[in-house]
Chains A and B, each alone.
Chain A
């Protein structure tokens, strides 16, 4: 089946930029997503990118998509302690309805 991979852990200092990376295998992916999960909570949609785009910026968040290498990244500028959470990358294939395939999540720790 299709696969989405992420590194497990990232630690940064407050004020620095964070870059969370993700790779996927489905060449038919139509949308790619970033979700944030805080302890005890559900998934918060941060941003998503259509597969024919290579970049999307939304305030402190920048998503880069390299479709050739099937690589997605999320950059958080000026990282704050409130950004500490688990970040999930996910992809969807238009042929499969609204079925998301998730990565295992990257735990971001922001040190003051």
Chain B
């Protein structure tokens, strides 16, 4: 069974540009959540999608957005990039429905560098 797949693994952008990151969850999993990891702030929750609906949102500005498709694949978008957006963006996949049932699996992440 394939794990959580994130693309691209590495990318470099300049300030003001926008970026789209993709996450394919484990087959059969319908919940996808996104996290940002930086040395200063650690791991912070961005948002979670379940059955194409955003179920939770973290404390990030509106420049950060996401969506989920009918096949459960998810994308996140960051517009008007700032230097502080440089981070490892991690996606997690879970089979959980209305209540969490335990296992959350992460992908390898997309490392974004903003110059």
Contacts and interface: CB of A to CB of B under 8 A. Distances in A.
Interface residues of A, number: 25
A102 B106 CA distance: 14
B48 interface: yes
Nearest to A92: B100
Interface in B18-75: 31, 33, 35, 42-43, 45, 48, 50, 55-56, 58
Contacts of B112: none
Most chain B beta-carbon neighbours within 10 Å: one of A50, A94, A97, A104: A97
A101 B108 CA distance: 19
Contacts of A55: none
**Interface of A (DSSP majority class):** strand
B12 to A, nearest CB: 16
Contacts of B106: 35, 42-45
Nearest to B35: A100
A99 B108 contact: no
A48 B104 CA distance: 9
A88 B43 contact: yes
Given A42-B90, A42-B107, A100 B102 contact: no
A88 B90 CA distance: 14
Contact of B108 (A31, A41, A48, A96): A41
Interface of B: 4, 6, 31, 33, 35, 42-43, 45, 48, 50, 55-56, 58, 90, 92, 94, 96, 99-100, 102-109
